[in-house]
Structures are given as structure tokens and as C-alpha cells.
Structure 1
Amino acid sequence: MNSEHTFDIAIIGSGLGGLACGSILSQQGYKVCILEQHYQIGGCLQDFKRQGVVFDTGMHYIGSYENGQILNTLFRYFGIYDKIQASRLSENGFDVINIAGEEFALPQGVVNFKKKLVEHFPDESKAIDTYFNKLQDIYDSVDLINLRDIPTDDLPRKKGLDENVFEFVFSITANVDLQNILCGLNSLYAGKKESASLFIHSIITLFYLQSAYKLDGGGGQIARAFKSVIERNGGVIRTKAKAEVLKCEEGEVKSLILASGEEIKAKQYISNIDPLTTMEMLEGANIRKVFIKRLREQEQTTSCFSVYIKLKEKTFNYLNANYYYYDEKNVWALDSYSVENWPQGYMIYFSESDEFRGFAENITIISPMDFAEMKPWENTGIENRGASYLKMKEDKAELLIQMVEKTYPEIRSCIEEMFTSSPLTFRDYTGVRRGAMYGVLTDSRNPYDSQIMPKTRVKNLFLTGQNVNMHGVLGVSVAALLTCGEIMGMNKIMSDLRKHVVKN
């Protein structure tokens, strides 16, 4: 590729947002180039192989994947649905929450979940109805995920964004056990009691309750499916191509300079990397200092420590569900986080053995971890952090295994190989600031400071990704629609989306 080559769209970053934008635009005839600084595409979709076993880094399961449901429709629109291998998690309990030794399995379907809650809490039926009516009202208010035309050029304020999850749940019931169950999946958005947004909670909760699927073969297949679609439509995806400078003149980007010195020219540019990093790449643009200050001061969600375990054959039963554990009767453990009391809980994701059905081949254990603990090694590189870092990871893994043994006392004897990753690993492989699991924290007390629009003051530069709308496969997919809507027209996208609805 020579430096004179010109594209319609140049996209920085090959995470889900960048790939989804590339798929949408390339299918519409735009000449697309995606630039990825690492050797592997996908961002949080990446998987990796150790000892012949594939592990996911970020995408562990998906929701609303039945025909007619939103992610099913989005994947069909992106052109990747027929390339994804997925199967339903357990109908009777796709997510299992253990709160201080008491387990509660969440069944698929809002009606089923409500019924089970009423059976367990017969005196709380009014509170349970109030809870689900509120969540459904918020979900139904979002035009885009309900496939309605967007009525104006300005996106409407999100209902529930400035309401607090805990305060709402506390206001409808004094039953602590019910409160904990209703809020028990807050680890999916790194919720804190004082700041968790009811909008985020509502969308994520109903997204998974409508239907929940595991990705057979891992989340990396999504990135590979996107790659196939984009390249089939004439798009170019380049790895080891780090974007360093966006050269601007007269209020628009004229070219993009790679770390190698190569110049990429396009009519329009989309950044799927951190908005602050994007703004800092601009050369010759008039970006308000107050905006940069706002980006720098945005609170990031917590990072995580992960243990990846290859299991001995036929030693550990497979659970067709995800497992969430809280050591105390408090699902808001992030509020009392400290180095001394880590870990306070964890998530486990299971992969079934193809050869020995009913047994797990590997498991991934994830526990929230503050990036501040990485300060001694913050400026080191991958595979070059020293003995003290390796010792820290060994100690953390041991503490996490000890906690898992409370529920699975046999786990240690089932381990064949074990690998770990820290917040630094997550930061360096995904490019996410401070290794934040879910990007910028949406704070119900000041929600609009965390909201970033896809359109920037540089007229041919757009943003996408988890910080534009919200995190997760649904949030980032919607962000890609919003970004492409700035280029193609939002209601053109909505019209095309509705053509991809497949009803049962």
C-alpha cells in the first residue's frame, strides 16, 4: 500500500466498535481501512490459546439472541450472524449468584424470573412488579434498540440515567436478600452503590434476561466474522499499524500518520480508541481545553485480575451457566474495596470439553481489581515487568483460588495449567485507559459528564466504542450505529435494520 492510497473511511482500532463500523460502511460501498496497533484484531473480542485450549479475554456470553431480539437483528445486519456458533445457556439458571453461601439461579425470560422471585419472596410481589415495570419502561424508551426511527438529530436524554440503582431498589423493598438478588449482576457494569445508573442496569438486565447464549469456540469468532465481511466488501484491515498523529487543517483531518511514518489519507475518520487518546493525537485542530480537561477527569470503571485454568480431563463438572460469587451479604463490594480485603468476590465462566461432554475443559475466574495496585509496574512492557510483578500475580492467583475453594473444594486438584492476567495485561492488549473493564464510569449523580457524542468538533472525525454509548456487545454495537448514522443518516440505518428482523 503506498502513501497516496486514499480511502473513504479510515478507522483507528479494531475492537467491536471499529469492526462494526467497518462492516456497516463497507456493505454500503464505502472504501474502508481499519488500522490496528497489535498483531491481533478484536480488542476485547480477542481470544488466546494456551496448551491447546482457547480462552476469552472479554466476551464471555451474549444476550437477546433469539430471532426477533435486538442482538440477533444487529448481527444479521452486520452480516455476521451465520458465522457465529452460539448455544443457549441453561433455561433454569443462565446466571447463578452466590451471596454469602446462598445461591440463586436466574432463569431465562422476564416472566420466569419474576415468577421465581415471587415464589421466593411471596410478600414482595408488589415490589417485584414495580421493579420490572420500571426496567421495562426504561428499555422501551430507547428508540434505537426498539428499532424506531430517531425523531430528531439530537439523541434524546436517556431515561433513568440520572437515577441510582440502589436507591431505587431500596425505595421499593426493605428485604435485603431481595435487594441483593435484584442488584446481583452489578459486576457486569462495575456498579458502585453510590453511583450506579438505573439506565445501564435496566438495559443490561433485560438484555440478558430476554435470552442468554454462550459463544461456542469463544468471542474471537466475532472478530473473525467481521473480518470476513469487511474484506469480502473490499475493505482493508491492517495489524501492527499504530496510528500516532491526525494532521488537521481548516477544521478537518487531512491525513493520519502511523508510527512507521506512513501516511494514510481518507475522506472521513473514525476512532474506536479512547476519546482522550484520540484528542491527544490531533495536530493542528482547535479542541477546547475544557473538553480535554473533562476527558482527563472522567472516572474509569475498575479493572480486573483474571485466572485462566486448563483443567485435567474429566475432573470438573461443566456448568452451563455463569457463576457470580460474593463473599459477604453485600453485592456492592466495590464500595469497600481495599488491597487488604481482596478478593471480595469473583465471576467464573466455563467452557465445555468437546471430547468429554458434561465436563469443563477450562474456566476463567475474574475478580475486580484497582489499577492503582499496578503503580510499581505501570511503565513496564508486556513480558518485561520483573520478578516482583510475577510474585504479585502468583499471590493474587492463590488468594482467588482459596476463595473459589469455598464453593468448589476440588478445584485445586483439577488444575492442569494456570495462567494469569492483571490490569496491566488488559490495558496493554486492549489499549483501554487504566485497564478499565467497561470504560468510563457512568455516574448517576452527574451522568452527562460521562456521555460522549460520536460527532466531534473536527468535521470529518467521529468517535465510536464503549465510551460513546455504553459498554458491552449491545452498547458498543449501538455506538457503531450512532457513529455510522452521522455519515449515512440515522434513519437510513434504522430502515435497513428493520429489514433484518427474523421472527420465530
Structure 2
Amino acid sequence: MNGTVVIIGGGMGGLFTGALLARNGYRVTVLEQNAAVGGGLQTFVRSGERFETGMHMLGGFRPGGSVRRICHYLGILDQLKIRPTDDDCMDSLHYLAEGERFAIPCGRERFAESFAARFPAEADGVRRYVEALYRLSDEVGMFRLREAQGSIFSHSEEFLLPADELIARYVADPRLRDILAYMNPMYGGVARHTPAYIHALVNVLYIDGEDRFVDGSSQLAEALAGVIRANGGEVATRARVRHLACTERTIRYAETEEGRRYAADRYIAAIHPCTLLRMLDAAALPRAYRSRLEQIPNSYSAFTVYLKLKENRFPYINHTCYCQRAHGMAWQLGTYDELWPRGIMYMTPPVSGQGPFSRKMIITAPMPFDAVRRWEGTFTGRRGPDYEAWKEEQAGRVLALMERIRPGFREAVEAVHASSPLTIRDYYGTKEGAMYGFRKDAQQIALSQVPIATKIGNLLLTGQNINLHGICGVPLTAVNTAEALLGTNRLIHAINTKYETDHGNLCK
């Protein structure tokens, strides 16, 4: 055995990091505050249907993809039920005011040509823009699980441009600029602030192929927890850590609310760094370090409506649907005012034996935490009647927009449930219910970069606040964190070697 590790937080970051370390000889203990592990991979049941909380669309699972390689290395691919979206329409985009609709195909060439055909005057610019997306993504070696070369890499001038400025470099038509920013809800984009490389990585991830879990995302959480347990580790639920005892910049033990103490050689925090600060005494970290973490702005949150649909009333849609009220709102989706929601993203999650009709729908509308700040001192189930009335009103606004998108839609709805930024904050333990953790800012990029190592010698970080968020970014950060203990390039080399060897054997 290489030693012992306690991981605080059983979300996707904690589980991937724990599984990778367990696979390499560490005895891992994961402490999760909720009744189920998974974080954004969690599912819940309402009105007899199972709903996903956050991980609705998958990238990186196609042959050769980074997440597929990691899951293959961990031996869990055969435990995952995954369905590809339609190649000729991985996403649809609808502008209500203009009545415009776009069916967006996957694949680098098809993606570019679809927009070039709709906007022939911008055809050359569109192709060069897509080339730029792939060029920027290739600057991030980890995105393709490339081994580090040991030298400092200087990024191109476009890498840290604001994403909206990157698009404007190649495209003159303001309508097309708005369209090319349609994936904004997948990274919480803010004009003049979100870096071009974030925009590029997220777009390339899904252009390369978008998939979905069949029967919910919790299957990935369960598979990862299984790897940890199979290698002698423990995954404990309802184990909320209240205190990390630290002396001389070394964690001595983690103590849960029940008073149980967990000691280990190393500790990894897979939670929002500002949540971590509350578990440590003030003297455990330098004041400047604490202050810097508290100052980093967070990405916006979301209001989500979960619908049980009547039997045989609404078609199953094998792609993700984006809708905006009108052109020019792509960078304002996180604004909460009388026009909210300016746009929504909706999908019909697949289930085993999927027929032509859907049993459920999930609708997500970006929302800032300020919309619920008046109730920030409350907790789930104890927020009061005024909050419940407000939540019902917001769900009504979302459904009214859906009725405009698909007239007669309400007749297909059997039951309505909803969650707000407060729900995300309380269940994920993330500051201000931020969907994507800390917001990366092109204007002050140094502030928004949080390293894996901390000022405490045996404490590391992992999760969506480090490097990149989402189904690809979090597993890749887990590889980075695990390599901080295993050695640079050792894990990446092992992941790639196993995939390429086994893939070659399968092809013979």
C-alpha cells in the first residue's frame, strides 16, 4: 500500500480521484455529507420518475475520448449505459422572436459546414473560427491526456481573449456571433470575462460527440465508488465533515458532525474551496490565501424544473434543445429581471427500452444567486411559504416559455417539481449555488486560477473549481490531483497504455 487518503466530498471529483488512487494502491476513505454519493451525478425520485441533478450531457465518451480512456483504465465502462445523441442533430437551437431554428450536427467538419451553409457570406470566417476552437483546445495537453513535457508552455495570444471577442475576430454578423455562443449555459459565460479557452474546450468536447446516460447519471457514481471499495477503501455517506484539525500546516484528522475522526497520511478536498475554509481554524492558512479564495467570483447558478409527462403525450427527443427569446441574449442568460428566463435548455432523459414517447423532461434556466439571496440563511425544507410561492412563480414562468416554444405543452404535463440556486448550494456544498464553481475571468486570470497544492503540506484540492468543470474537466483534474501523489505523467501514461493496448487487442 502507498499510504492512506481521506477525501472530503463524494462528488464526481472526489470519486474519480479516489478511484484512481485506490487503483494505484492507496487506501482511500471518501466522506460525503449527503445520503448518496455523486454530487452532480446524483439522481432523485419524484412522482415515480428518476431525475438527474446536473450531469445531463456527456462529452469525451466517444472512442479515443479522454473520459472514455479514464473509465476504461478503471474498468467501469461496461457498467455504464450510454446513448449517443443524433449525429445530424446533437443540439437544436430556437429563437422565438425570429422564428429561427437550427439543427446542429456533431463532428468538426459537419459543425462548420452547417453554419457556413446558413450564412454563406461568413463561410470562410466560420471555418477559421472552428479551426481556432480546435487550435486552442490543443494548447491544453491535458484535454487530450497528453503527457507533460516538463517545459513551460506559452499559450497563444487568443487563449486568454474574452470568448465573445474570439468569436468577433472571425465572424462579423452579430446574429451568427450570438448563435455560435449558444453553449453558454454549459460554462456560465459572461461577456468580456469568460476566457476563449473555456469556450473552446466546452465546444470542442461536444462537437466531437455528445452522449447521454440511460437511466440516470448515478450509475457512474456507483461504479466509481465500487472501484474504491473493491480496492479496500471506504465510501461513507451522511458523513459531513465539520472540522479539519490542523497543526503546523499539517492536517491531523477530519472530524464529522457525529464526532467520528478519520486520520490519514494525505487529505484531498473535493468541495468548494470556500466551504473548505469553514472547516479549518483561522490560523491554519495564511490570511492572504483565505482572502484570495473568498474574492474569486463564482459562476451563475440555475433554476431547474423537473416534469413528469403524461403517457404517450410528448415525443422523446434524442438531442438537447436550446431556446432564447430573441437574438442578442446569449451573454445575458444569467440575468434575473422581468425578462427572466431569457433562455432555457431542455431535454428528455432516456430510459431503458425507450420508445417514441418520453416519460419526463428537465428544463434548466440560468439564474444568479442574487435571485434567492433573501433566503440564504435558510435550509432545505425550512425556507418558508414566501419562498415556496416564489419558487412556484418561477416554475410558472419557465412553463409559460415552454408553452410558447411548443403550444399545447402544458397538456402533456402530469407533475411539476423545481429546484433553485439554494438547492444547488445545500446539496452540492458550493458557494452561492455556483453551477461551475469559480468563474474563470480573462480580465484577472491569475485570481481565478486555484492550484491543486495548498498552503497545508498534506492537503490537496480537486473538483470543478480547479482547472475545468464538467464531465471532462473534473475527471482530468482528478488525474492531476492523483499524479501529485503518484508522480507526473505516471498515471496518464498508464491510462493511455492500457487503452491503446486493449483497443488494439479488441480490433484484432
* TM-score, shorter chain, exceeding 0.5: yes
In structure 2, relative to structure 1, the CA distance for the partners of 1:486 and 1:352 (3 Å cut) is closer
The 1:356–1:247 alpha-carbon spacing in structure 2 relative to 1, beyond 3 Å, is closer
Distance 2:207 2:422 in 1: 32
Distance 1:277 1:305 in 2: 22
Of 13, 19, 24, 2:20 maps to 24
Name the residue aligned to 1:452. 450
Q: Among all aligned residue pairs of Structure 1 and Structure 2, give the percentage whose two residues are the same amino acid.
A: 31
1:206-225 alignment runs, 5 A limit: 206-225=204-223
Tell me, yes or no, if the aligned pair for 1:455 and 1:463 is still in contact at 8 Å: yes
Per-residue deviation at 1:288? 2.0
Question: Is residue 138–residue 159 contact of structure 1 (8 Å, CA) maintained in 2?
Answer: no
1:111 aligns with 109
Give the gaps of 5 or more residues in structure 2: none
Q: Give distance in 2, aligned partners of 1:415 and 1:322.
A: 19
Which of residues 249, 258, 273 is equivalent to 2:271? 273
- Asked whether 1:92 is paired with 2:58, we answer no
Q: C-alpha separation between the residues in 2 aligned to 1:89 and 1:233? A: 34
2:433 matched to which residue of 1? 435
C-alpha RMSD of the superposition = 1.9
Is residue 2:232 matched to residue 1:226?
no
Give the whole-Å Cα distance in 2 for the aligned partners of 1:148 and 1:385: 48
Residue in structure 2 matched with residue 34 of structure 1 by the alignment: 30
Q: Distance in 2 between matches of 1:302 and 1:185?
A: 14
Residue 343 of structure 1 is matched in structure 2 by 341
The residue type equivalent to 2:416 in the other structure is M
The alpha carbon displacement at 1:369 in A equals 1.2
Tell me, yes or no, if the aligned pair for 2:215 and 2:352 is still in contact at 8 Å.
no
The equivalent residue for 1:3 is: none
User: Does the C-alpha gap of structure 1 residues 305 and 268 become closer, same or farther in structure 2, counting only changes over 3 Å?
Assistant: same
**In the alignment, which residue of structure 2 is the partner of 1:364?**
362
TM-score (norm 1): 0.95
Q: Deviations over 1:252-273 (max 9, x none)?
A: 1111121122211100000001
1:36-435 matches, within 5 Å, as 36-100=32-96, 101-152=99-150, 160-283=158-281, 286-334=284-332, 337-352=335-350, 354=352, 357-435=355-433
- Pick closer, same or farther for the CA change 1:236–1:189 going to 2, 3 Å: same
Aligned mates of 1:17, 1:40 — CA distance in 2: 15
- Separation in structure 1 between the aligned mates of residue 212 and residue 100 of structure 2, nearest angstrom: 24
Instruction: Find the counterpart in structure 2 of residue 8 from structure 1.
Output: 4
Shift of 1:145: 2.4
C-alpha contact 1:8 1:30 (8 A) present in aligned 2: yes
Query: In structure 2, do the counterparts of structure 1 residues 73 and 158 end up closer, same or farther at CA, with 3 Å as the change threshold?
Result: farther
Aligned partners of 1:382 and 1:158: how far apart in 2? 46
The structure-2 alpha-carbon separation of the partners of 1:497 and 1:153, relative to structure 1 and needing over 3 Å to count, comes to farther
Cα deviation code 1:32-65 (max 9, x no counterpart): 0000111111111111011221101100010132
Equivalent position amino acid for 1:124 in 2: E
Deviations 1:334-354 (A, max 9, x none): 278232221111010212465
Q: 1:462–1:353: structure 2 CA closer, same or farther, 3 Å change rule?
A: closer
Equivalent position amino acid for 1:248 in 2: C
Distance 2:27 2:60 in 1: 31
Q: Secondary structure at the match of 1:358?
A: coil
Give the drift of 1:495: 0.9
Deviations 1:86-123 (A, max 9, x none): 01101111111112331112101011111212211222
Structure 1 residue 184: deviation in Å?
A: 1.1
The CA distance in 1 between the partners of 2:5 and 2:279, in whole Å, is 18
SS of corresponding position for 2:40: helix
CA apart distance, 1:188: 0.6
Single out whichever of 273-282 and 227-236 deviates more from structure 2.
273-282
- 3-state DSSP class of the match of 1:490? coil
Three-state SS of the structure 2 residue aligned to 1:301 is coil
1:40 and 1:46 in contact (8 A); partners too: yes
Range with greater deviation from structure 2 (223-232 or 123-132): 123-132
The question of whether the paired residues in 2 share the 8 Å contact of 1:352 and 1:359 is answered with no
Q: What letter matches 1:149 in structure 2?
A: E
* Greater mean deviation of Cα atoms: 463-472 or 170-179: 170-179
One-letter amino acid of the structure 2 residue matched with residue 367 of structure 1: A
Partner Cα distance (1:189, 1:166) in 2 = 13
Change (3 A) 1:167 1:385: same
Q: Deviations over 1:405-459 (max 9, x none)?
A: 1111121000111111111111111111111111111111112211111111111
| Partner amino acid, structure 1, of 2:43 | D
Q: How many residues align?
A: 499
Shift of 1:282: 2.3
**Given residue 278 of structure 2, which amino acid in structure 1 is its aligned partner?**
E
1:361-392 deviation line (CA, Å, top 9, x unaligned): 10001101121121232111211111111110
Higher mean C-alpha deviation, range 470-479 or range 276-285: 276-285
Q: Which amino acid in structure 2 is aligned with residue 385 of structure 1?
A: R
Secondary structure of residue in 2 paired with 1:294 = helix
One-letter code aligned to 1:228: G
My pick for the range that moved more, 51-60 or 272-281, is 272-281
Cα shift at 1:466? 0.4
Is the Cα–Cα contact under 8 Å of residues 77 and 497 in structure 1 kept in the other structure?
yes
Mapped to 2, the partners of 1:104 and 1:136 lie a distance apart of 22
2:409 maps to a residue whose letter is I
Over 3 Å counting, the alpha-carbon distance change for 1:134 and 1:42 in structure 2 is same
